[in-house]
Amino acid sequence: MAETKKSLDEINESVTVPSVYETSFLQKFLAYSGPGALVAVGYMDPGNWLTSLSGGSQFRYELLSVLLLSILVAMFMQSLSIKLGVVARLDLAQAIATKVPRSVRYFLWFLNEIAMMATDLTGVIGTAIALRLLFGLPLIYGILLTILDVLIVLLFLRFGIRRIEFIVLSAILIVGIIFGIEVFRAHPPVATIFEGLVPTGSLFQNHEKLVLSLGIMGATIMPHNIYLHSSLAQSRRYDHNNPAQVNEALRFANWDSNVHLVAAFIINALLLILGGTLFFHATNQLASLQDVFNG
């Protein structure tokens, strides 16, 4: 029987991790940390930011509960993806190829390609719009520059996946700190924020609130993150024949995923809080990043 092609072959098992009996919890966590950041950054694109700001501007902090539930669902989905990669040593595409009939497989591939292009489009166009708002750069040049910076980051694969993980983690930290400062300066009411984390029945009684909630959930749970994580989980090198080592890899991969998804929740929550604090009861709804900039 032919050997199954490794997922993301250039980084597969490229990062050595400590054995079960070596080092501390923190050192092991740092060794496994990284794939979660690459996945979590997909939960922080301009589509997420705009839906969070718009949700806050229309319903203040009420949709924080939707954001929280979305992240909890995402944690569950990503944990299944990790288990597939760590235990079965397959990514989701490979698993579908081996278990699903060809006609269904092609249909799923088509749907996922459409979904991935739609979510990637928000990132490219959103970045181009941001460059135009900040520096007056024409959209077409902003799009080309965005594509170029993706290719530059991919070139870092030649130096190992850990460098890309560090770049993305640094970007997440910078964004989180900036939004945290903005929220601190806005002085939102803390008690009201905590009330927004509790789900209410009004979600199903208000059509606009329900539609926006679905937008928040759709911008949070995206198929390419599930495909990607099942591959990235295989970037760590450990003894697959040792059940204790496999269980530890599964444990720390989930720690990595959940910690970074919590960071994604915090960043999106900060944006929703900003929307609810600065734009609530505004005369114009936030339909685009241009509206946010002008507001």
Domain spans, the chain: 19-91+161-289
**pLDDT tens sequence for the chain (295 residues):** 345 678 888 888 989 888 877 778 888 999 999 999 999 887 877 667 777 888 888 888 999 999 999 999 999 999 999 999 999 999 999 999 888 999 999 998 898 888 888 777 877 887 888 888 888 889 899 999 988 988 887 787 778 889 889 888 998 999 999 999 999 999 999 999 999 999 888 888 888 888 888 878 877 777 788 899 999 999 999 888 889 899 999 999 999 999 999 999 999 999 899 888 887 765 556 555 556 555 5
Q: Which residues contact 270 (CB under 8 A, 6 or more apart)?
A: 176, 179, 180, 182, 183
**What is the radius of gyration, based on Cα positions, of the chain?**
20
Beta strands in the chain (DSSP E): 15-16, 236-237
CB atoms within 10 A of CB 53: 24
In one-letter notation, the amino acid at residue 201 is: G
Rounded to two decimals, the pTM is 0.87
Q: What is the pLDDT of residue 287?
A: 54
Instruction: Judge residue 262's burial from the number of C-beta atoms within 10 Å of its C-beta, 0-12 exposed, 13-18 middle, 19 or more buried.
Output: middle
Q: What is the pLDDT of residue 1?
A: 37
Query: Do 253 and 243 form a contact (C-beta atoms < 8 A)?
Result: no
Q: What is the pLDDT of residue 4?
A: 62
